[in-house]
Amino acid sequence: MPALASELFIDQAHEKYSAENHEAWRKLFERLTPRWHKYANDRFLSGIEELHLNPARVPRLADVNRRLKPLTGFQAKAVSGYVPAFLFFDCLRNREFPTTVTIRRSDRLDYLPEPDIFHDVAGHVPMHTDPHFAQTLVKLGECAHTAAAHGEEELASVVKGLARFFWFTIEFGLMRASNGNGLRVYGSGLLSSYGEIEHAIESPEVQRFPIQLEWVINQSFEIDHYQPLLFYVESFEHLFDLVEQLERWMKEGKLDNLAPGEPEIKESDLRSFLEGVH
Protein backbone atom coordinates (compact mmCIF):
# COMPACT_ATOMS: atom_id res chain seq x y z
CA MET A 1 0.00 0.00 0.00
CA PRO A 2 1.39 3.48 -0.87
CA ALA A 3 3.14 5.49 1.84
CA LEU A 4 0.44 8.12 1.32
CA ALA A 5 -1.95 5.86 3.21
CA SER A 6 -0.21 6.65 6.48
CA GLU A 7 -1.13 10.33 6.02
CA LEU A 8 -4.76 9.66 5.10
CA PHE A 9 -5.93 7.39 7.89
CA ILE A 10 -6.58 9.22 11.14
CA ASP A 11 -8.32 8.93 14.52
CA GLN A 12 -11.87 10.23 14.56
CA ALA A 13 -11.38 12.51 17.62
CA HIS A 14 -15.09 12.26 18.45
CA GLU A 15 -14.78 14.63 21.40
CA LYS A 16 -14.11 17.53 19.00
CA TYR A 17 -17.59 17.48 17.45
CA SER A 18 -19.48 20.61 18.45
CA ALA A 19 -23.11 20.96 19.49
CA GLU A 20 -23.79 22.32 15.99
CA ASN A 21 -22.20 19.22 14.45
CA HIS A 22 -24.46 16.93 16.48
CA GLU A 23 -27.47 19.09 15.63
CA ALA A 24 -26.70 18.80 11.91
CA TRP A 25 -26.61 15.00 12.25
CA ARG A 26 -29.89 15.04 14.23
CA LYS A 27 -31.70 17.17 11.66
CA LEU A 28 -30.48 15.03 8.75
CA PHE A 29 -31.42 11.76 10.46
CA GLU A 30 -34.84 13.04 11.54
CA ARG A 31 -35.74 14.36 8.08
CA LEU A 32 -34.57 11.28 6.20
CA THR A 33 -36.01 8.55 8.41
CA PRO A 34 -39.57 8.71 6.92
CA ARG A 35 -38.14 8.76 3.41
CA TRP A 36 -35.92 5.76 4.10
CA HIS A 37 -38.99 3.81 5.18
CA LYS A 38 -40.80 4.84 2.01
CA TYR A 39 -38.03 4.55 -0.60
CA ALA A 40 -35.04 2.55 0.70
CA ASN A 41 -34.47 -1.15 0.04
CA ASP A 42 -35.15 -3.65 2.82
CA ARG A 43 -31.48 -4.44 3.49
CA PHE A 44 -30.68 -0.79 4.14
CA LEU A 45 -33.49 -0.55 6.68
CA SER A 46 -32.25 -3.73 8.37
CA GLY A 47 -28.73 -2.29 8.40
CA ILE A 48 -29.88 0.89 10.13
CA GLU A 49 -31.44 -1.27 12.85
CA GLU A 50 -28.44 -3.57 13.20
CA LEU A 51 -25.98 -0.68 13.58
CA HIS A 52 -28.07 1.06 16.28
CA LEU A 53 -27.10 4.47 14.92
CA ASN A 54 -27.88 7.25 17.40
CA PRO A 55 -30.35 9.59 15.65
CA ALA A 56 -29.25 12.54 17.78
CA ARG A 57 -25.46 12.44 17.73
CA VAL A 58 -22.61 11.93 15.27
CA PRO A 59 -21.63 8.27 15.75
CA ARG A 60 -18.34 6.97 17.04
CA LEU A 61 -16.83 4.83 14.31
CA ALA A 62 -15.54 2.44 16.96
CA ASP A 63 -19.15 1.78 18.03
CA VAL A 64 -20.27 1.35 14.41
CA ASN A 65 -17.45 -1.13 13.75
CA ARG A 66 -18.18 -3.14 16.89
CA ARG A 67 -21.59 -3.98 15.42
CA LEU A 68 -20.62 -4.05 11.74
CA LYS A 69 -17.52 -6.25 11.73
CA PRO A 70 -19.17 -9.42 13.11
CA LEU A 71 -21.79 -9.23 10.33
CA THR A 72 -19.59 -8.98 7.20
CA GLY A 73 -16.03 -8.22 8.31
CA PHE A 74 -16.29 -4.62 7.09
CA GLN A 75 -15.04 -1.65 9.10
CA ALA A 76 -15.39 2.11 8.64
CA LYS A 77 -11.93 3.70 8.58
CA ALA A 78 -11.56 7.43 9.29
CA VAL A 79 -9.74 9.47 6.63
CA SER A 80 -8.43 13.01 6.55
CA GLY A 81 -9.65 13.89 3.06
CA TYR A 82 -9.74 12.73 -0.55
CA VAL A 83 -8.59 9.13 -1.04
CA PRO A 84 -6.85 8.36 -4.37
CA ALA A 85 -8.87 5.91 -6.43
CA PHE A 86 -6.63 2.84 -6.22
CA LEU A 87 -6.25 3.18 -2.47
CA PHE A 88 -10.02 3.57 -2.08
CA PHE A 89 -10.73 0.39 -4.04
CA ASP A 90 -7.92 -1.46 -2.30
CA CYS A 91 -9.55 -0.61 1.03
CA LEU A 92 -12.75 -2.23 -0.21
CA ARG A 93 -10.78 -5.34 -1.14
CA ASN A 94 -9.63 -5.48 2.49
CA ARG A 95 -13.16 -4.86 3.83
CA GLU A 96 -12.35 -1.33 4.95
CA PHE A 97 -14.46 1.68 3.99
CA PRO A 98 -12.70 5.10 3.92
CA THR A 99 -14.98 7.33 5.95
CA THR A 100 -14.99 11.12 6.08
CA VAL A 101 -15.22 12.43 9.65
CA THR A 102 -16.35 16.02 8.97
CA ILE A 103 -20.05 16.88 8.76
CA ARG A 104 -21.84 19.51 6.69
CA ARG A 105 -22.98 22.77 8.27
CA SER A 106 -26.46 22.81 9.75
CA ASP A 107 -27.44 25.60 7.32
CA ARG A 108 -26.32 23.54 4.29
CA LEU A 109 -28.12 20.27 4.85
CA ASP A 110 -29.55 19.62 1.41
CA TYR A 111 -26.54 19.58 -0.88
CA LEU A 112 -22.87 18.90 -0.43
CA PRO A 113 -20.60 18.24 -3.44
CA GLU A 114 -18.18 16.14 -1.37
CA PRO A 115 -18.86 13.28 1.07
CA ASP A 116 -19.26 13.91 4.78
CA ILE A 117 -19.79 11.54 7.71
CA PHE A 118 -23.56 11.52 7.20
CA HIS A 119 -23.19 10.47 3.57
CA ASP A 120 -20.60 7.83 4.47
CA VAL A 121 -22.06 6.37 7.67
CA ALA A 122 -25.81 6.86 7.20
CA GLY A 123 -25.71 6.46 3.42
CA HIS A 124 -23.07 3.79 2.75
CA VAL A 125 -22.39 1.79 5.91
CA PRO A 126 -25.86 0.27 6.54
CA MET A 127 -25.51 -1.48 3.17
CA HIS A 128 -22.24 -3.01 4.39
CA THR A 129 -24.22 -5.17 6.82
CA ASP A 130 -25.53 -7.25 3.90
CA PRO A 131 -23.19 -10.16 3.01
CA HIS A 132 -23.98 -10.10 -0.72
CA PHE A 133 -23.46 -6.35 -0.98
CA ALA A 134 -20.28 -6.55 1.08
CA GLN A 135 -18.89 -9.22 -1.22
CA THR A 136 -19.71 -7.02 -4.20
CA LEU A 137 -17.57 -4.24 -2.71
CA VAL A 138 -14.71 -6.68 -2.14
CA LYS A 139 -14.96 -7.79 -5.77
CA LEU A 140 -14.90 -4.15 -6.91
CA GLY A 141 -11.73 -3.73 -4.87
CA GLU A 142 -10.19 -6.69 -6.66
CA CYS A 143 -11.10 -5.04 -9.97
CA ALA A 144 -8.69 -2.22 -9.14
CA HIS A 145 -5.79 -4.67 -9.26
CA THR A 146 -7.01 -5.90 -12.64
CA ALA A 147 -7.18 -2.27 -13.83
CA ALA A 148 -3.66 -1.55 -12.59
CA ALA A 149 -2.28 -4.25 -14.88
CA HIS A 150 -3.21 -2.12 -17.91
CA GLY A 151 -0.73 0.09 -19.71
CA GLU A 152 -0.55 3.77 -18.89
CA GLU A 153 -2.18 4.72 -22.18
CA GLU A 154 -5.35 2.73 -21.55
CA LEU A 155 -5.52 3.29 -17.81
CA ALA A 156 -7.47 6.58 -17.87
CA SER A 157 -10.26 4.93 -19.84
CA VAL A 158 -10.34 1.88 -17.56
CA VAL A 159 -10.48 4.02 -14.40
CA LYS A 160 -13.24 6.11 -16.00
CA GLY A 161 -15.22 2.90 -16.53
CA LEU A 162 -14.73 1.86 -12.92
CA ALA A 163 -15.81 5.31 -11.70
CA ARG A 164 -18.95 5.28 -13.87
CA PHE A 165 -19.92 1.81 -12.70
CA PHE A 166 -19.45 2.82 -9.05
CA TRP A 167 -21.49 5.99 -9.59
CA PHE A 168 -24.49 4.33 -11.23
CA THR A 169 -24.58 1.42 -8.77
CA ILE A 170 -23.02 1.98 -5.34
CA GLU A 171 -23.75 5.73 -5.30
CA PHE A 172 -26.96 6.10 -7.32
CA GLY A 173 -28.31 2.61 -7.81
CA LEU A 174 -31.93 1.49 -7.76
CA MET A 175 -33.18 -2.05 -7.20
CA ARG A 176 -36.44 -3.80 -7.90
CA ALA A 177 -38.45 -4.04 -4.67
CA SER A 178 -38.35 -7.41 -2.91
CA ASN A 179 -42.10 -7.84 -3.49
CA GLY A 180 -41.61 -7.07 -7.19
CA ASN A 181 -43.72 -3.93 -6.90
CA GLY A 182 -41.80 -0.86 -8.04
CA LEU A 183 -38.24 0.28 -7.32
CA ARG A 184 -36.28 0.97 -4.15
CA VAL A 185 -33.05 2.84 -3.48
CA TYR A 186 -29.73 1.25 -2.49
CA GLY A 187 -27.27 3.92 -3.72
CA SER A 188 -25.73 5.99 -0.94
CA GLY A 189 -25.87 9.28 -2.85
CA LEU A 190 -29.65 8.91 -2.90
CA LEU A 191 -29.99 7.47 0.61
CA SER A 192 -28.19 10.46 2.13
CA SER A 193 -30.10 13.14 0.19
CA TYR A 194 -33.48 14.29 1.52
CA GLY A 195 -34.57 15.71 -1.82
CA GLU A 196 -33.04 13.31 -4.29
CA ILE A 197 -34.20 10.05 -2.70
CA GLU A 198 -37.82 11.02 -3.44
CA HIS A 199 -36.94 12.57 -6.79
CA ALA A 200 -35.21 9.34 -7.90
CA ILE A 201 -38.36 7.26 -7.41
CA GLU A 202 -41.21 9.69 -8.01
CA SER A 203 -40.10 12.32 -10.53
CA PRO A 204 -41.22 12.02 -14.16
CA GLU A 205 -38.01 13.85 -15.08
CA VAL A 206 -35.89 10.80 -14.19
CA GLN A 207 -35.25 8.07 -16.75
CA ARG A 208 -34.98 4.63 -15.09
CA PHE A 209 -33.69 1.64 -17.02
CA PRO A 210 -32.67 -1.96 -16.31
CA ILE A 211 -28.92 -1.83 -15.95
CA GLN A 212 -26.83 -2.61 -19.03
CA LEU A 213 -23.10 -2.78 -18.36
CA GLU A 214 -22.03 -1.52 -21.77
CA TRP A 215 -24.28 1.52 -21.42
CA VAL A 216 -23.20 2.31 -17.84
CA ILE A 217 -19.45 2.30 -18.51
CA ASN A 218 -19.90 4.61 -21.51
CA GLN A 219 -22.36 6.98 -19.80
CA SER A 220 -21.04 10.29 -18.48
CA PHE A 221 -22.47 11.97 -15.39
CA GLU A 222 -22.28 15.29 -13.56
CA ILE A 223 -22.29 15.72 -9.79
CA ASP A 224 -23.81 19.17 -9.30
CA HIS A 225 -27.50 18.43 -9.87
CA TYR A 226 -30.11 15.71 -9.39
CA GLN A 227 -29.40 12.75 -11.63
CA PRO A 228 -31.69 12.54 -14.69
CA LEU A 229 -30.70 8.94 -15.57
CA LEU A 230 -30.67 5.99 -13.17
CA PHE A 231 -30.30 2.22 -13.56
CA TYR A 232 -31.81 -0.59 -11.52
CA VAL A 233 -30.64 -4.11 -10.71
CA GLU A 234 -32.77 -7.10 -9.76
CA SER A 235 -30.86 -8.08 -6.61
CA PHE A 236 -27.48 -7.89 -4.91
CA GLU A 237 -26.62 -11.22 -6.52
CA HIS A 238 -27.31 -9.55 -9.87
CA LEU A 239 -25.03 -6.66 -8.87
CA PHE A 240 -22.22 -9.07 -7.94
CA ASP A 241 -22.56 -10.82 -11.33
CA LEU A 242 -22.19 -7.44 -13.03
CA VAL A 243 -18.94 -6.77 -11.18
CA GLU A 244 -17.61 -10.15 -12.28
CA GLN A 245 -18.54 -9.25 -15.86
CA LEU A 246 -16.86 -5.86 -15.47
CA GLU A 247 -13.64 -7.57 -14.40
CA ARG A 248 -13.79 -9.99 -17.35
CA TRP A 249 -14.27 -7.09 -19.73
CA MET A 250 -11.27 -5.27 -18.24
CA LYS A 251 -9.10 -8.32 -18.80
CA GLU A 252 -10.36 -8.56 -22.40
CA GLY A 253 -9.56 -4.88 -23.07
CA LYS A 254 -13.19 -3.81 -23.48
CA LEU A 255 -12.69 -0.80 -21.19
CA ASP A 256 -9.59 0.51 -22.98
CA ASN A 257 -11.42 2.98 -25.23
CA LEU A 258 -14.63 4.13 -23.60
CA ALA A 259 -16.75 7.11 -24.63
CA PRO A 260 -15.20 10.44 -23.56
CA GLY A 261 -16.81 12.76 -21.05
CA GLU A 262 -17.30 12.97 -17.32
CA PRO A 263 -15.87 12.09 -14.97
CA GLU A 264 -12.49 13.62 -15.62
CA ILE A 265 -9.84 11.38 -14.08
CA LYS A 266 -7.35 13.13 -11.81
CA GLU A 267 -3.64 12.67 -12.38
CA SER A 268 -3.33 11.63 -8.72
CA ASP A 269 -5.82 8.83 -9.33
CA LEU A 270 -3.87 7.52 -12.30
CA ARG A 271 -0.64 7.61 -10.32
CA SER A 272 -2.32 5.73 -7.50
CA PHE A 273 -3.08 2.86 -9.91
CA LEU A 274 0.37 2.90 -11.46
CA GLU A 275 2.08 2.88 -8.07
CA GLY A 276 -0.49 1.10 -5.91
CA VAL A 277 0.25 -2.49 -6.84
CA HIS A 278 3.88 -1.96 -5.89
Element (H, E) at 230: strand 229-233
Residue of 119, 128, 150, 199 marked catalytic: 119
CA–CA dist 174, 2 (Å, integer): 34
Handedness of CA 234, 92, 116, 62 (dihedral sign): positive
CA–CA dist 100, 120 (Å, integer): 7
Residue of 96, 124, 196, 247 marked catalytic: 124
Q: What are phi and psi of 77, to 5 degrees?
A: -125, 115
239: left (phi over 0), alpha (psi -120 to 50) or beta: alpha
100: which strand partners? 79
22 noted as active-site residue: no
Residue of 157, 188, 192, 272 marked catalytic: 192
Q: Among residues 241, 248, 247, which one has the least CA distance to residue 136?
A: 241
Helices (H), the chain: 5-8, 19-39, 42-51, 61-72, 85-93, 117, 131-148, 152-166, 188-191, 194-202, 213-217, 236-251, 267-276
119 noted as active-site residue: yes
Residue of 128, 150, 157, 171 marked catalytic: 171
CA–CA dist 223, 114 (Å, integer): 9
User: Considering all CA atoms of the chain, what is the largest pairwise distance in Å, rounded to the nearest integer?
Assistant: 53
Q: Which residues are catalytic?
A: 119, 124, 171, 192
